[in-house]
Amino acid sequence: MLRRSPYKDIINYENILSKDIGEGERLFLHYTLIQAKSNLEIAEKSDYFVSPLLFFYGIVALAKIIILKNSKIIPREVLHGLTVRVAGEKSIDWTKNYDPKNETVLVKEKGLFPTFYKSISSHALPEGEKYTLGDLFLFLEKKKTSLEPLAVHYLILFLLSMLARYEPQKWGWAYEKSSFSRELNTYLKIVGREIYDLWREKINL
């Protein structure tokens, strides 16, 4: 028996979200909803070397829809507004010393993430604000933070997607053999539905 996709209803929100926007914005909404649905559905069926990238671009699409809903303007930022600081020097034996929880993301002044965050929060994050992967996982456990939960997932998925894309040896080791392996395994099993539910809350659906 085929399991019903939890993201099947994403497309059904188009009529609600398309009120009071122009034709160009409606087209953007239509195809960005399809993009979000496709990325999230395929991510859940993919192995761990591919799923972080698909989940990340799924949450990027959902973030763009939030920006459009709140501003009535199509977000056209081409920069992420984030950058990574690599954990560990290349000269060390990272299989012995590397801890994926030390991977760090820095917030930049301009780009999609800062624009997205301003659309869901009453305050902006200062340029240069940084978070480790360990910090972000603690925030998911309701540790004190000013970050919105959907933004926490955005930052985590950015970090994981960058590892999976550019440092496959580190990502594979982190996922399969590191002391953080169980947390990463569990996270990729639940993150799609969590970000979808948080997104629906943010757009009041």
pLDDT of 89 above 80? no
pLDDT of residue 92: 53
pLDDT confidence tier of residue 88, bands split at 50, 70 and 90: low
What tens digit of pLDDT does each residue of 102-144 get? Answer: 999 999 989 999 999 999 998 878 788 999 999 999 999 878 8
Task: Kindly state the percentage of the chain with pLDDT values over 90.
Answer: 69
User: Which residue, among 136, 134, 132, has the nearest Cα to 147 in the 3D structure?
Assistant: 136
Q: Is the separation of the CB atoms in 199 and 67 below 8 Å?
A: no
In three-state secondary structure terms, 102 is helix
pLDDT (average), residues 50-66: 97
**Whole-angstrom Cα distance, residue 100 to residue 87?**
7
SS (H, E, C) 21-72: CCHHHHHHHHHHHHHHHHHHHHHHHCCCCCHHHHHHHHHHHHHHHHHHHHHC
The pTM for the full model equals: 0.92
pLDDT of residue 58: 98
What tens digit of pLDDT does each residue of 15-45 get? Answer: 889 888 999 999 999 999 999 999 999 999 9
